[in-house]
Structure 1
Amino acid sequence: MNEDPDIHLTCMRESYEERQFFFEQGLGAEIHWFFVQGAEAIRADLYLPACTSLINGIELSIRLTMAQMENSSRVRELNPKEILSNKLLANAHKKGLPVNFLAFPGEDNFIEKITSTAKHTPYAEVVRIRHNICHGNILEYVNTELGESHAFFTPECCRSLSITLLNLSKGWTTKLGEFRRSLNTTGETSQTE
């Protein structure tokens, strides 16, 4: 091992702390592993798996939390028609979930996007990215810095997106954890974490 032991220990400590961060939010194993694995994928320079894991963690955390609010027993199946969408976010917002923490930096009209009843409302950014990444639509991440004739894509083209998603996920899981704990203390849900 040629690596400086202090650097190695620092990296190990940071990895442990990030992992613990998601465990400590009290979201349950079904949810927190998506965020932990997304963070670990970024550390391993696996940006595409990081993006999909974090997006799936966001989607699952909303779907499962809402299902748990409606069921007093353990949720065994989620409605396959309820995917991350403006409508799902609007329904979650109505139920009090802190979905405003899913707004991307600079997305000041997030709540307007998800609550609009207009026919052709733009997607909230998290929804748009979910649809694109989960369906392999990566064309907006193609690097054209060397000109159109030298355009290329590598997973590193999604590095910035993965880091943005990780930061968004940290804020989201913190607030969602607080929300879920408040439900447990008020007796609105009988589910255990």
Structure 2
Amino acid sequence: MAPLPSVERFAKSAKDLYSDNRMVVFLCGPTLSDLSNSAATLRKRLLDELMQDGFEVVLGEDDGLEELRKKFTKGYAHDNELEFIKNECGAIVLVAGSVGSFCELGLFVHWVQNNHGCDLILLVDEQFKDDKSYFNEGPARAADDFGRTYYVDFGSFDISPILSRLRGRRSSYFNSGRGRPAGGV
């Protein structure tokens, strides 16, 4: 049976949309300069796999956002990152393994609660899973309610559920029009 013209048009449109655009993922966590840190190693694995899968991955300060802030706005780092995320990102993946990442978590989870257009995935050391704490009753719980929280062993976590989730989100992101270029495709 020959393909139907409508299916062929749809296939071409989808192929063009996906090949010309990438969903942007803001990947937070410890610096990649010390890969002896298991949280940093997890962040590096995520970076590599997401890029291989066609996502555009931004590491924040490592990719020039901090330099842009210093050069142009001279404002606050957290305002700069949040403005970038609002304008460019379809997802935030946060490996909570550094002081900066915990600061980002508070900001991002508060923002995501009120702006449902961006996915938030939080990865936390499994040792904190059962703690009765502000962290678990506040930011980690909210991240799970408005995105997804995983308590993990940073050294051995299987990242395939994250990749699968982001692939699905990418499809919705593009098909909804949010991920389409300004000219509209």
Q: TM-score, normalised by structure 1?
A: 0.31
Q: TM-score, normalised by structure 2?
A: 0.32
Higher relative contact order (CA 8 A, sep 6+): 1
